[in-house]
């Protein structure tokens, strides 16, 4: 006879579904990335996911855990996928491979596997890469398709990624550049806002620039996750709210600093707010805690971007707040029914 414990009814959500939904929610943004910046993102994603699955399988075997049971939960796939979205699309092939290995082996399994990692694995992978290979990580971003002098095929992207400068330095130069955030931050020292906005990267507006489409579609994906109740509103709202507030306060003069629209739409902000910072394992848990956690990320993003050396700062902001998550949890416990009131 079976004598299981209550509740006997279980809801229809599963870890797999959660992972799959988050993955699916990134797809519109992913499609826009390929549309605007070429096939490099697809190659990145394939490389990262393949590396992640192989690494996860090997390490599960080493740890004597059931391989298929855990491989099937989709968490390794999602980690690799999110990392691939964050990497420069035309970086050498070993960039996504090393980043994914760092994420899966070091950030995830050395801490005990799914559910036990104190840091967001994808962002650990990203940080390792950014510190170890700063040139590849900052110069190999894609030129928006409309700005490129000629159209580039999947094969061109593959050649740049797998063979790189050895094959054709001119091809690499023709396909890559720095991110808009980086460009604006560096060039505003010498140009004023009006001149900068007249540059090809910024002047063509909505149809060219690309990043605001990508960000907008990430936002859409994030709203889908909210609607599905896979994430709560607290972290994204806190991230975007605090970043907007700081940008309005300190970046009111576009001749001096990167303006608020670029902060929100020009980089990885939306991806970070809805898909990275909301990683439940490494975030704060209570609703109030999530607000504090998200606000911290938004503040750090602005601070690092404005006064630090890195043009985009989502990874470091998230990792720093991961450190703080246990402390935040300790101080933001929700009020229990019947406590403190009569």
Q: Is 333 in the site for other proteins (CB under 8 A)?
A: yes
Q: Is 339 in the site for other proteins (CB under 8 A)?
A: yes
Nearest CB to other proteins, comparing residues 269 and 282: 282
Residue 46: Cβ within 10 Å count: 13
Q: Which residues pair with 142 in a beta bridge?
A: 176
CB of 19 to other proteins, least distance (A): 9
CB of 338 to other proteins, least distance (A): 4
DSSP string, 21-67: HHHHHHHHHHHHHHHHH-THHHHHHHHHHHHHHHHHHHHHHHTT--H
Among 61, 115, 195, 331, binds other proteins (CB under 8 A): 115
Q: Which of residues 230-289 bind other proteins (CB under 8 A)?
A: 230, 232, 280-281, 283, 285-287
Among 1, 151, 155, 170, binds other proteins (CB under 8 A): 1
- How far is the C-alpha of 338 from the C-alpha of 315, rounded, in Å? 40
Q: Which of residues 155-214 bind other proteins (CB under 8 A)?
A: none
Helices 40-62, 94-101: crossing angle, 10 deg rounding: 30
Burial environment of residue 10 by CB neighbours within 10 A (0 to 12, 13 to 18, 19 or more): exposed
Among 76, 80, 91, 114, binds other proteins (CB under 8 A): 114
Nearest CB to other proteins, comparing residues 244 and 286: 286
Q: Is 334 in the site for other proteins (CB under 8 A)?
A: yes
Q: Is 227 in the site for other proteins (CB under 8 A)?
A: no
Q: Which of residues 280-309 bind other proteins (CB under 8 A)?
A: 280-281, 283, 285-287, 290
């Amino acid at each position: 006879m079976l004598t299981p414990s209550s509740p006997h009814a279980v809801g229809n959500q599963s870890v797999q579904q959660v992972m799959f939904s988050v993955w699916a929610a990134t797809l519109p943004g992913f499609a826009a990335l390929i549309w605007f910046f070429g096939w490099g993102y697809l190659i990145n994603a394939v490389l990262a996911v393949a590396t992640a699955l192989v690494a996860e399988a090997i390490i599960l075997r080493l740890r004597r855990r059931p391989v298929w049971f855990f491989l099937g939960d989709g968490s390794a796939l999602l980690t690799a996928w999110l990392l691939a979205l964050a990497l420069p699309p035309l970086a050498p092939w070993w960039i996504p491979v090393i980043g994914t290995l760092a994420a899966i082996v070091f950030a995830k399994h050395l801490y005990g596997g799914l559910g036990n990692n104190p840091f967001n694995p994808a962002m650990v992978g990203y940080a390792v890469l950014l510190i170890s290979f700063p040139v590849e990580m900052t110069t190999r971003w894609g030129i928006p398709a409309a700005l490129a002098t000629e159209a580039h095929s999947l094969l061109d992207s593959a050649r740049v990624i797998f063979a790189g400068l050895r094959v054709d330095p001119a091809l690499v130069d023709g396909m890559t550049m720095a991110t808009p955030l980086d460009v604006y931050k560096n060039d505003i020292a010498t140009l004023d806002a009006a001149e900068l906005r007249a540059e090809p990267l910024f002047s063509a507006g909505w149809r060219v620039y690309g990043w605001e489409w990508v960000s907008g579609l990430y936002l859409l994906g994030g709203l889908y996750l909210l609607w599905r109740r896979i994430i709560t509103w607290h972290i994204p709202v806190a991230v975007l709210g605090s970043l907007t507030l700081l940008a309005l306060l300190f970046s009111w003069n576009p001749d001096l600093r990167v303006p608020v629209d670029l902060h929100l739409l020009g980089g990885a902000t939306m991806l970070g707010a809805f898909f990275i910072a909301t990683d439940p394992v490494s975030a704060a848990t209570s609703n109030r805690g999530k607000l504090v956690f998200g606000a911290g990320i938004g503040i750090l993003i602005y601070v690092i971007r404005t006064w630090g050396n890195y043009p985009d700062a989502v990874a470091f902001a998230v990792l720093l707040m991961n450190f703080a998550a246990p402390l935040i949890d300790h101080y933001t416990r929700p009020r229990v029914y019947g406590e403190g009131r009569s």
